[in-house]
Amino acid sequence: MNLRIRDLREDKDLKQYAVAEFLMCDQSLYSKYERGERELPLRLAVRLAEFYGVSVDYLVGLTDEPAQYLRKKK
């Protein structure tokens, strides 16, 4: 999977440990997500997409358009 999480993190000048803390996981586990050694769980992909202000599709490389989708009102 072509995750963009490393590029997004570096664009914000964040360290891995800071993003791992936000996700409530260990830095070494987060590092494996960035390197593609572990699959990023959907719940964490959603949190990261919201954190960076991008769509999950952009995050996982399905589109080059970073814009988030508009949420439906309940």
16, part of any domain: yes
Number of structural domains (the chain) is 1
Q: Which domain holds residue 47?
A: 5-59
Handedness of CA 18, 19, 24, 26 (dihedral sign): negative
* Residue-wise pLDDT tens digits, 3-16: 799 999 999 999 99
> Residue 49 pLDDT > 90, yes or no?
yes
> Residue 25 pLDDT > 80, yes or no?
yes
State residue 2's pLDDT score: 53
55, part of any domain: yes
Residue 66's pLDDT band (cuts 50, 70, 90): confident
What CATH number did the domain enclosing 30 receive?
Answer: 1.10.260.40
State residue 69's pLDDT score: 73
Angle, vertex CA 12, rays to CA 10 and CA 15, nearest 5? 55
34, part of any domain: yes
